[in-house]
Structure 1
Amino acid sequence: MHEVWPDSGVLLASRYRLVTLLETGGMAQVWRATDELLDRPVAVKLPAGDTRAAHMAWREARLAARLSHPGIAAVHDYREAVRPDGSVAPFVVMELLNGETVAARLCDADGPVPWGEAVSIGAAVAEALAAAHAAGVVHRDIKPGNVMLCPGGVKLLDFGISAAAGEPDDDDTGLSFGTPAYAAPERLDGKPAEPATDLYGLGVLLFEMVTGDPPYDVNTWEELAAAQAHGPTPLPDTLPARLRELILRCLDDNPSRRPTAAQARRALTRLVPSAPARLTIPLPKPPPTGHAKVLPAQQRVTSPGARRVAFGAALAGFAAIVVALLYAANAPDDPVEFAQPPASPSPTTPRTESLVPKQTVSPSAAATVPPSPAEPTRITPTDPILTVEAALNRVQDTVEQGQQSGEIRADVALDFQNLLRLIDPGADNVTDQVDQLLGKVRQRLNEGGLSQPQADLLRQRLNDLRSASTP
């Protein structure tokens, strides 16, 4: 029997042979091991000593086992081994990864990485977080040491202090708070687990990748409190404005003002350059339309609603030209002029009114007045088209305002906000999630968690969101 435990050569649960110690942290050791049953290399995570660490290992295995995503390190097994003193040591068996962490990458670079590479890594992390949040899991420890750059892509590691979304934070020891420099403000307030916490971590990760240091470069909770009083260090002006804006949104002290993981992924993917300065791993490709190119404001069409309006205007203009040419080719002996559209069209005014000919010119003038070329008719929509993202923001604002006015109880507002953050405006299941939220409004109203007027307003906003998401 080994005098030192654990040690190389130790066989755990009659199956996993420890080979090399890879990492030692405050809460666990990670070993390279061999699964002798399946003859494959694995990683074994052995928690340090006390019963709370053991319980967290079990929780980690259960929560991580919910997830199946190429950007998340897979959990293979959970077992218990017997130490030489007869006590039980639980351990988690995970996918063994080759590569380097973002922390090691920053150390090697001795400074920031190119922002093109940073947004590519950030987009991959955001995609993994979106999958975790959809499964109801909050990581709560996003930092450079938990993001691995592998030959096959980016992997999110270590769900050691993860929690189910909405789970109360009953840790009085601070053991599950993570590292001070990367902890979201709400973690220190003991609020229930919510996906927005991971978006704060993503903001810190991006901040450190593009500057070389986290926004609050501290080692203790006391130092963090003092640093937060002065705010984070400013981001370099050389970064794209949209990237700076996204990072600051992620770092917002108010969780409800942070983007969702799906929104962050889309924003970061649009920023991925066509040819990043340096890539060490396969990363998300930029959109085929080249969103990294920023058009002037007058040329830019961003939302699906705006694209529909722009296409409609172009089509109407083309139709106006065709009708005008056909009319000119088949004009009667009497010249005509087109009625001018009203200066401010009303909702009841037909949009084709400007194409109706009106007899006003005498026949004798036909030989001397050539028909003037028609110009495309410009159509200005009388009612703005509400995009899915705008409708979703209106629902979120309604919940926040209802909580501030006292018409929505705080725990009910948090419940609504957690469900709203899981909605991806670009997904096909928005209407299903709206139905779920409408049912939640009805349930919470019956429980007395919100007022009747507030419930009616929320229903109206949710129905607007349904309409915006229906093609």
Structure 2
Amino acid sequence: MSDDWPAAGTLLAFRYRLVSRLETGGMAEIWHAQDELLARPVALKLPTGLDRARTDVLQLAWKEARMGARLSHPNIAAVHDYDEAVRPEGSVAPFVVMELLAGETLAARVARAPLSWREAAGIGAAVADALTAAHASGVVHRDVKPGNVMLTPTGIKILDFGISAVAGEPDDDETGATFGTPAYVAPERLDGKPAEPATDVYGLGVLLFEMVTGQPPYPVDTWEELAQARAEGATALPSTLPAAFRELVTRCLADEPDRRPSAAEVGKGLAELAAPDEPEQPAPVVTVTRHRAGAAGPGPGGDERPRSGRKRLVLWSSLVALVVSALALFAALGTSRPNVEAGRSPAASPPPASPPPSAAPSAKATPRTAVSTTAPPSDGGAAPLEADAPPLDADVAQARFRTAVEDGRAEGQIRPDVAVDLLNLLRPLDRGDGRQADEQVAELRRKLDDRIGEGSVDTALAKILRARLADLDQALRSS
């Protein structure tokens, strides 16, 4: 490409207006563009490897679009279109139009500082879920690395299927142009074996390793450095990490593809690791009954004396109650007659008896407490609102939805990886921009409906989550 093409403002294929260049890599550059036909922002990928034969460039771009378009998953960036533009000198430049994502790459996040092992497990579970869907459709990504994973307000997204292949497809690239980045390439790719899902599992293992240590197990930049590093052996994970996490990553990094677990198995294991630890149950309260010295307890020896004493107490109590009632009646009759003698004050009547401790206060003295949807009834459903209830606080509504997901995961009412996915989507909820928050809640609702439809959420929990999400939507609109 020439220095002045493409440039901001360029219109490609009479439809896509380039706005700004977002990123430039070894094989392509990514642009923020505007789809003028549908009036929406998109990401547009233009290849930069125009030194190779034009047919190769066209083939790679078209293949990426085809691979991405056959996949539909919440954790995979959507592909919208493929087209070709004509450069000023008359040659053809293919491009792929994709979903425009906000956020940052996992590479940028790890560059600041390594993640905790639990955070890494949560992100890895979402990536594994996406890879499972891709493998089910016969697609092998072949370039799983931090730079191709986005952390967005709507969850984790896998990008760039530029060197993906159909499972079983021969790896006949003799130039190495589609091998990817040396530090993330699985050993079997160096031997020219056909594409297989285990290759992506190796890349996921490298991803997990780098998230918790800050660098891949073979921190190299060239193929020569990789060969030497593999001969010397990989860096080990810190022993301070949980044994289950280390064991799962080690299995992903096995040299032999058939010794690696499937992406689905890795996702399940990571989701279980990412789940918060179960809180300790409080010790049961034991009530101890103490008897006064000399008093007979139940059982042998506690014969008739305690029972007869209780009978006498009941009789005396009844007698006292009758006397008090009679006196009260007499006082009431005495005060009901008007006193007509001049110069005399009415007879002083006894003060009214105090109500027993169990007597309920009057309605006038009882403060009215507004019941909000943050106080669910015992069956877990949504509580009714009183007429004068204040608007539900957005933070409280968000916390209620999160608690329902976490409780459901602890009770086995929602698949662990689905719970992690919903919590990741909820965590970055942005209320600074009302429209952005509405879009995020809408995306959360779509994902929840999809998961309920596939049976990953128990029916009872699904009802609660939908009610909590409706509360959150109302709270955001009221704030």
Q: TM-score, normalised by structure 1?
A: 0.58
Measured against aligned partners, the alpha-carbon deviations of 1:361-409 in whole angstroms (never above 9, x if no partner) come to xxxxxxxxxxxxxxxxxxxxxxxxxxxxxxxxxxxxxxxxxxxxxxxxx
* Aligned counterpart, 1:245: 247
8 Å Cα contact 1:47-1:54 kept in structure 2: no
Aligned equivalents of 2:407, 2:7: Cα separation in 1: 46
Cα contact 1:269–1:287 (8 A) shared by 2: no
Match of 1:53 in 2: 57
**1:74: which partner in 2?**
78
Q: Distance in 1 between matches of 2:277 and 2:91?
A: 55
Q: What is aligned with 1:134?
A: 136
Report the CA distance between 1:287 and its aligned residue. Answer: 7.2
Q: In structure 2, do the counterparts of structure 1 residues 133 and 33 end up closer, same or farther at CA, with 3 Å as the change threshold?
A: same
Q: What's the offset of the Cα at 1:288?
A: 2.0
Call closer, same or farther: CA 1:264–1:46 in 2, change over 3 Å.
Answer: same
Q: Which letter does structure 2 place at the counterpart of 1:118?
A: A
Corresponding letter in the other structure for 1:232: A
Structure 1 pair 93–286 and aligned structure 2 pair: CA distance change class (3 A):
farther
**Aligned residue pairs, count:** 284
Aligned match for 1:235, one of 234, 237, 257: 237
1:87 counterpart residue number? 91
Q: Could you list the per-position Cα deviations for residues 208-244 of structure 1 after superposition, in whole angstroms to 9, with x for gaps in the alignment?
A: 0011110000000010011011211111111111110
Which residue in 1 is equivalent to 2:107? 103
Counting only pairs closer than 5 Å after superposition, residues 419-430 of structure 1 correspond to structure 2 as none
Q: Distance in 1 between matches of 2:408 and 2:239?
A: 25
The aligned counterpart of 1:25 is 25
Against the structure 1 CA distance between its residues 211 and 285, is the aligned structure 2 distance closer, same or farther, given a 3 Å change threshold? Answer: farther
Identity %: 67
Candidates 146, 149, 152, aligned match of 1:147: 149
Q: Unaligned regions of 5+ residues in structure 2, if any?
A: 279-401, 413-453, 456-479
How many angstroms apart in 2 are the aligned matches of 1:54 and 1:79? Answer: 10
Distance 1:63 1:258 in 2: 24
Q: In structure 2, what is the Cα distance between the partners aligned to 1:203 and 1:3?
A: 39
Partner Cα separation in structure 1 for residue 408 and residue 253 of structure 2: 26
Deviation above 4 Å: which 4+ runs of structure 1? 284-287
Counterparts of 1:288 and 1:90 in 2: how far apart (Å)? 46
The reply on whether 1:288 has 2:429 as its aligned counterpart is no
After alignment, is 265-274 or 96-105 more displaced? Answer: 265-274
Q: 1:287 to 1:260 in 2, by over 3 A?
A: farther
Amino acid of the structure 2 residue aligned with 1:185: P
CA offsets 1:146-183 (integer angstroms, 9 cap, x no match): 00000110000000000000000110000000000000
Q: Residue 222 of structure 1 corresponds to which residue in structure 2?
A: 224
In 2, Cα distance between the equivalents of 1:153 and 1:270?
18
Residue 108 of structure 1: how far off its partner (Å): 2.1
Q: How does 1:32-431 map to 2 (within 5 A)?
A: 32-48=32-48, 49=50, 50=52, 51=54, 52-109=56-113, 112-274=114-276, 288-289=409-410
The CA deviation string for residues 295-344 of structure 1, in whole angstroms up to 9 with x for no partner, is: xxxxxxxxxxxxxxxxxxxxxxxxxxxxxxxxxxxxxxxxxxxxxxxxxx
Rounded to whole Å, the distance in 2 between the matches of 1:245 and 1:15 is 50
Preserved CA contact (<8 Å) 1:76 1:94: yes
Query: 2: CA distance between counterparts of 1:224 and 1:191?
Result: 18
Question: Does the 8 A contact of 2:57 with 2:94 survive in 1?
Answer: no
- Whichever of the two has the greater Rg, that structure is 2
Q: Could you tell me how far apart the structure 1 residues matched to 2:57 and 2:173 are? A: 12
Query: What amino acid is the match of 1:8?
Result: A
Shift of 1:54: 2.6
Whole-Å separation in 2 of the counterparts to 1:286 and 1:247: 28
- Give, as a single letter, the amino acid of the residue that structure 1 aligns with 2:17: R
Aligned positions of 1:425-444 closer than 5 A: none
Counterparts of 2:243 and 2:408, CA distance in 1 = 19
Partner residue, 1:10: 10
Task: Provide the secondary structure at the position in 1 that maps to 2:93.
Answer: strand
Distance in structure 1 (CA, Å) of the matches to 2:407 and 2:213: 23
How does the TM-score come out when normalised to structure 2?
0.57
The 8 Å contact of residues 124 and 267 in structure 2, kept in 1 or not, is answered as: yes
8 Å contact from structure 2 (residues 220, 226) kept in 1? yes
Cα-to-partner distance string for 1:230-271 (whole Å, 9 max, x where unaligned): 211111111111110010000000000000010000000010
